[in-house]
Amino acid sequence: MFRRGGGGLGVLQLLVLCGCLELSSPCPRDCICYTSPSTVSCQAHNFLSVPEEIPAQSERVFLQNNRIQRLLRGHFSPTTAMLWLYSNNISYIQASTFHGFTRLEELDLGDNRHLRALASDTFQGLSRLHALHLYHCGLLSLPPGIFEGLSSLQYLYLQDNQLEFLEDDLFVDLLNLSHLFLHGNKLWSLHQNTFRGLGVLDRLLLHQNRLQWVHRLAFHDLRRLTTLYLFNNSLAELSGACLAVLPALEYLRLNDNPWECDCKALPLWDWLRRFRGSTSALGCVSPPELRGRDLKGLKKEDLPSCSAGEAGGGGVVGGEDELGESLVKEEDHRLNHRNHRHRHNHHQYPHLPHGDQHNGDPPPPALPRPPTGSRRNCTRHRGRKGKAGGQGGVNEVQGEGEEKDYDPGEAKHDPSTPPRRRNKCVPRTSVGPPSGVQRVNGNAACRPTGAFLCLLLAVLLSITAVILR
């Protein structure tokens, strides 16, 4: 009926032209593939490992909501720009998995609760990475140099892990970081160089930790910080000098801490009296006569009188006595941290093959799977609902019992979510492709009904051509 090289070839050409036949690389089984940009969507299929035959030129790879356990070199292509692996069972990432991925812009490894350790060079060379998600994992510590060279990083999600201590200069290379989420960990101290180098940081969330002590210069580089959350910790006192180095600060939360409103609180009281931004209440727990009172609402004469030395430099914010006391406390905390690490030197990195031990460095201890808490945070509930939780979303920061902002405009301020164009806490499903894929799918011509119509059209045109000959 069709001449060789004639009608049959015309049908093939018509199918290609109408978008019903794509001449591209094979798509992994049970996955959906799209073009322009090249996208592979393999979410929610209970994969135990990364599927084979992911096209080499894939730019977006979506593997969330599976049961993948290990990431190895060669699983992905260096052409990848967006890689979502959240809500899996990943417990081990080979150090070289992402080496050479110079185009990678977003990497989501969140909600992998057995991911307790990372090699220091895991993210080496990711010079274009702007968003890194490591929330709700089992991370016990972060090795020095793990963020080295990530000069393009803007959003770093580390909330809801098991972190107890942050090494000095851990973030020093993150020159463009604007959002740092550390809430829901076990941090108990902040040192002078913990946040050094974060000159453009806008939002720092440290609530729901175990903070007992903050160095008076802990925030000295954060000249552009507008939002600082320290509520629901164990802070009994805080240096006024600690906050005086934050000229851009607008939103401050200090509630739900056991504040001691004695003479040592005078520098903080003085700073709060002059602060023009939005703050929460600071409920006093001592002395007994001030219990339940708000430190901000006290008068100077309400604070117990004491000598100049006890008041931390005679009430002068950042006095020499206060500095000396801070230095002594910092040294004590450092010694405690070194002793803590020494006690756990006998532990092995979990699930690391023999060839991937880290040059004899003492690994962190293995702890049980982190318990689920009652904090509302959509990164905890992304399970089968994809990347979203609607309200109560990614990093919702208002804790239980937190007071409303005194500023009427507070309701419009969500410090834990980036601008809308990069907001990851939006409703998505695990069945259909994520939003990035849906846009590609919306432009695709080859849906099942469309394919049938295209095929019917091609056949009719071919028959018409034969009849007219």
3-state secondary structure 103-172: CCCEEECCCCCCCCCCCCCCCCCCCCCCEEECCCCCCCCCCCCCCCCCCCCCEEECCCCCCCCCCCCCCC
Q: Which of 399, 405, 402, 396 is nearest to 423 (CA)?
A: 396
- For residue 254, what are its two tokens? 């200090």
pLDDT of residue 452: 60
Rounded CA separation 420/27 (Å): 32
User: Residues 6 or more apart from 45 whose CB is under 8 A from it?
Assistant: 30, 31, 66
- For residue 225, what are its two tokens? 């910080």
- For residue 285, what are its two tokens? 């727990």
User: Residues 6 or more apart from 43 whose CB is under 8 A from it?
Assistant: 62, 63, 64, 65, 66, 84, 386, 430, 433, 434
Q: Which of 128, 127, 177, 126 is nearest to 155 (CA)?
A: 177
- For residue 51, what are its two tokens? 């599927």
- For residue 95, what are its two tokens? 């150090």
Give the SS3 label for residue 40.
Answer: strand
- For residue 237, what are its two tokens? 């006192």
pLDDT of residue 14: 44
CA distances from 24 to 21, 54, 315 (A): 9, 12, 72
CA distances from 244 to 31, 155, 175, 342 (A): 54, 25, 22, 36
Rounded CA separation 93/148 (Å): 18
Phi/psi at 275 (5° precision): -70, 135
Phi/psi at 71 (5° precision): -120, 125
List per-residue pLDDT tens for the chain, 469 residues long. 333 333 444 443 444 344 444 445 689 999 999 998 999 999 999 999 999 889 989 999 999 999 999 999 999 999 999 999 999 999 999 999 999 999 999 999 999 999 999 999 999 999 999 999 999 999 999 999 999 999 999 999 999 999 999 999 999 999 999 999 999 999 999 999 999 999 999 999 999 999 999 999 999 999 999 999 999 999 999 999 999 999 999 999 999 999 999 989 999 999 999 999 999 999 999 999 999 999 999 998 888 876 555 544 333 334 434 444 544 455 555 555 545 444 443 333 333 333 333 333 333 333 333 333 433 334 333 443 444 333 333 444 444 344 433 343 343 345 555 544 443 443 333 333 333 433 333 343 344 445 566 567 767 777 776 676 6
